[in-house]
Chain A
């Protein structure tokens, strides 16, 4: 299957700082990528849809000015959590479909963010 990577795998930061998470499609091009958030013992919640070369589409209740998404190339999307607070601590996961298999989404391994 297609490979999606995320960097970093885990990050700890101080409250008020910004954190950037990268999502890369290693062996395919992704015009669309999805960003999810998962709190402990909860299910995945879609945050936004990232589209290469255009603005991201955010789900209701997700602050676009706080969670900045950039999809500058066909293999890279970034999520920046600005002015992070402890309540932003979560597991952030990205996914993307491939052109060969548009019916299937491939997920990254996730990034564990802890805000102190």
Chain B
């Protein structure tokens, strides 16, 4: 079973920041929070991941609460191409062999 809880859908106006929440209250100390997204009929795309600290890359920012029980993915200036299903995934540190367990994700729709 997925270890995360996400809202099923969200809308965001084009050009505004999209904030996607994720609850992972049972996360273990050595587990990471990953975000992927899947545009319709394509394979998932890696966005960002983090352990404790907030992270930022060219695509997004990841804010993890101090107790690590929840996180927020921020797309700073959403465009129509950001319309996709966003998956928040908790995984261990056995990199390379650790499988990803996908939940139902959040369907983000960017409104023109």
Contact = CB atoms under 8 A, between A and B. Distances in A.
A101 B100 CA distance: 15
A93 interface: yes
B43 A32 contact: no
Size category of the binding interface on chain B: 20 to 34
A105 B100 contact: yes
B95 A103 contact: yes
A45 B103 CA distance: 9
B41 A110 contact: yes
Contact residues of B: prevailing secondary structure: loop
A103 B97 CA distance: 9
A105 B41 contact: no
B99 A97 contact: no
B46 A1 contact: yes
Contacts of A109: 42-43
A56 interface: no
Contacts of B103: 43
B99 A106 contact: no
Interface string A29-47: 0011010100000011110
B108 to A, nearest CB: 15
30 contacts: A4-B43, A31-B96, A32-B96, A34-B100, A43-B102, A43-B103, A43-B104, A43-B105, A44-B44, A44-B102, A46-B99, A46-B100, A46-B101, A49-B97, A49-B99, A91-B41, A93-B44, A95-B43, A95-B44, A102-B95, A103-B49, A103-B93, A104-B46, A106-B46, A107-B36, A107-B46, A109-B43, A110-B41, A110-B42, A112-B41
